Structure 1
Amino acid sequence: MADSTNIIFEDRFTVDTVDKDGQRFDRVSRITATSHHHHLSLTLDIASELYPLQASEAFTLAIAKSLNPDEDALADNGGGDGDGEQQPRRVRREAWRNGDEGLAADYEYVMYGKIYKFDDSATGENQTTAYFSFGGLLMALRGSYRHLANVVVGENVYLLMRK
């Protein structure tokens, strides 16, 4: 599904550590992982009872703006057709509200959250870190800004994972 316009980031990762500093919460684990293709590092809090991961295990992680694979077809273009006539506005509804899983059907673990911060002070040339919050479960994705160019602070996103 990497060709979907809703997916703003996708890569394959390998788990480096699970709870390196000890498990602080009963049902939450903090993993660190390294991407296969873009040399990014990931720190992610996951609900370990729902989606357990072990060191050396590989998974695909995607970040999407919507679960609806046809989001661009539903985008509002300002309500007009260019001739001064108003077109009916299309109401955007997430796929899961209609009983359709959308992109979530292709993944095993899904979280909804927000991109809340960028930090360009990381060591190394052209390095940046994007920070996400998924209802208190945090994620930091660090690497070249080129691979994180579509990630925009303040945007609501879905995190999708599969092994």
Structure 2
Amino acid sequence: MNAVDLRSILADAEHSGAYFIDERDAEVMAQAGAGLDYAVMRVDLAGCTDKAGLMERLAKAGGFPEWVGANWDALSDALRDLSWRPAPGYVLLVENASTWRAANLQEFDTLLEVFNEAAFEWAREDIAFWALLPFPGELLTSLED
């Protein structure tokens, strides 16, 4: 898929949400988002093992104000607001998430729900919000189960 195709996909707010992608596509997805002038927020979860570390890294990548708490409700509120980071759309690229997912399966499901709720709320304003989770290609099939 070329960059123009990716930009047309990312521009579709109605279909935005949380998606697993092949890690080999992470950079081109980030570039496509940047090509649309979206706020591209990269979160690297390498070495992250707990919820506190996840929240800290998400807050840093999103440039969250200090008043944003470190819990699921606060994360949800922050991702549905982003008034401190105005943009025509958003790409949240959560890299190296496989180890965190393996250690936090139930919380990983909650994280996906928070991402999808944010995407749904933004889509109501016709603004795309993509939470992309790059995984090694060989793991993608098992994630769909």
Structure of greater Rg: 1
Shorter chain as denominator, the TM-score bin is: under 0.3
Q: Identify the structure with the greater strand proportion.
A: 1
Structure with larger RCO (C-alpha < 8 A, sep 6+): 2
Q: TM-score, normalised by structure 1?
A: 0.24
Q: TM-score, normalised by structure 2?
A: 0.26
